[in-house]
Amino acid sequence: MAADPFELFDRWLGEARASEPNDPEAMALVTADRDGRPSVRMVLLKGHSAAGFTFYTNLDSRKAGEITANPQVALLFHWKSLRRQVRVEGVAGPVSDPDADAYFASRGRDSQLGAWASDQSRPLESRDLFEQRLEAVRGRFDGAPVPRPPRWSGFIVVPQSIEFWSDRPHRLHERRLFTLAAGQWSEGLLYP
């Protein structure tokens, strides 16, 4: 047994980075609207610490709207090459403006431009329209740094529980569940 789920997560993520063929930082993000209707999509983990798990998005996106309405979310990391997964349940809140600015500045220029050109999750008449918008944004910022759009930021998921699942033969899996209560993590096991 371990006392710190973040230490175990760091170790597992390091192993995934060495063995996963694509995007070891990919995680499924589950949100729900005010009526409890769930929605899931893949996003990329862009930071993690004992404070939580961070990702970035357009604040006008469906996921951001659902988080604003209902901040209870779940994350799932699935590392097929290791036959492991990590489930996180917690509350999502906004990252600070300086953190969002710093991460946006670290992105590739085309990703920065795309953030300006895209009305993420909104209906799009044609791919040509998006390409035209991208070219217009490219011209607007030609030869200049691309600032973070006002509608683009991030969320940090503060975990309330973290489950570490390891595959075992005959579906006799190992499941370690860390739960947070009164500021302290405790660990227990779950039946497979």
Q: Which residues are catalytic?
A: 171
d(CA 71, CA 49): 19
Quote the Cα angle for 90-50-168, to 5°.
70
Q: At 151, give phi and psi (nearest 5°).
A: -95, 15
What secondary structure does DSSP assign to 123-155, as a single string? Answer: --S-HHHHHHHHHHHHHHTTTS--PPPTTEEEE
Q: Give me the residues paired with residue 30 across strands.
A: 40, 74
The answer to whether the beta carbons of residues 157 and 89 sit under 8 Å apart is no
Asked whether the beta carbons of 155 and 95 are under 8 A apart, the reply is yes
CA distance 64 to 153: 10
> How far is it, in rounded angstroms, from Cα 108 to Cα 181?
40
